[in-house]
Amino acid sequence: MKNPSSEILSCPNCSNQLVSTDGCEFCGLTFQKDEGTPVLIAPNVNRHVQFTFKSDRSFISDGQLEQLLIDPPLASLSEKLPYHLDPAHVYIFNRLPKGSRVLEIGCGGGQNRKFFEDKGWSYVGVDISKERVSDWLQKYGGPNYLCDAHFLPFRDQQFDIVYCAAVFEHLACPFLAAQELYRVVKPGGYFLGNVSFLEPWHDRSYFHMTPLGVIELLTQAEFHIEHIWPGRGYSGYFALAAMGSRSTKLLKVLGKVLYLSYRMEHKFKDLIRNNKNQSFKDIANRAKVAGAIDWIALRPEK
Ligand SMILES: [Zn+2]
């Protein structure tokens, strides 16, 4: 694995351009390496979260929600997707021209790297440490850099897409991290990702988010939201069964059965009531018990 040119890097401490991953020539901070991977983390740095809360966000109407909670178009797939990647996110990725630059936050072992590089895109994967990466993921070469999502070591507007799956629940200050992601994505570029909703408390997670929580997170950072939808084929019933401490095959089957009965009950009720706006009712019912919430958001051109 080759690291990209250092022109995209900035010092996580003083925000000046970082010419070398050994240290910053402006503030003098030096960086360690973890088995060859630069650790671009500043131990004592403060950032301010820009937080303007408007009264029009104290309440979201059904009409507003209906415009955001929508199933997105999916890529037609001939290949098996890497772990976590959603066909709706691939649909967006497939519109990228060759040479586009993708940043993945929380890349684990870098299991998505081959998928992106095979399409001719330049891929940068980062994670907070290598310790969390399980053995089966080690074979993918790991992250390009180790860093903290609240203090990204990248210059402004460097990436066409930032992708971040199953990470935001692990961030102590998600509003600051969303602001950082906005900073590094180009105007017109995308922020694609998902976050835990009805999963158990896991790996020291902080904030699990409802669809409204995701809307607020993205809106606060000034992203334009295109779609929010419940994690595909991943209900809270299944997540709780599969991630529990005594998770067994039987429990997982039970999780699937519970979700199926939930769905059948709602489909039946909707059928006899013959409600208007069935598609919104349907996605709202799925979202109510989702294990995770996914999104497609855009940094406006301005
Ligand atoms: Zn510096």
Sign of CA dihedral 195, 201, 206, 211: positive
Q: What is the whole-number distance in angstroms between the Cα of residue 107 and the centre of ligand 1?
A: 25
Q: What is the whole-number distance in angstroms between the Cα of residue 144 and the centre of ligand 1?
A: 19
pLDDT in tens, 113-165: 999 999 999 999 999 998 876 666 678 889 999 999 999 999 999 999 999 99
Q: Is 235 a residue whose pLDDT tops 80? A: yes
- Per-domain residue ranges of the chain: 6-42+57-232+292-298, 237-282
Q: What is the whole-number distance in angstroms between the Cα of residue 193 and the centre of ligand 1?
A: 29
pLDDT in tens, 78-102: 778 877 789 999 999 999 999 999 9
Does domain 6-42+57-232+292-298 fall under CATH 2.40.110.10? My reply is no
pLDDT in tens, 5-29: 678 999 999 999 999 999 999 999 9
Q: What is the whole-number distance in angstroms between the Cα of residue 27 and the centre of ligand 1?
A: 4
Q: What is the whole-number distance in angstroms between the Cα of residue 145 and the centre of ligand 1?
A: 16
Give the pLDDT score at 2: 61
Q: What is the whole-number distance in angstroms between the Cα of residue 17 and the centre of ligand 1?
A: 8
Residues with CB under 5 A from ligand 1 (ion): 11, 13-14, 24, 26-27
pTM of the predicted protein model:
0.94
Q: What is the whole-number distance in angstroms between the Cα of residue 146 and the centre of ligand 1?
A: 16
Q: What is the whole-number distance in angstroms between the Cα of residue 288 and the centre of ligand 1?
A: 45
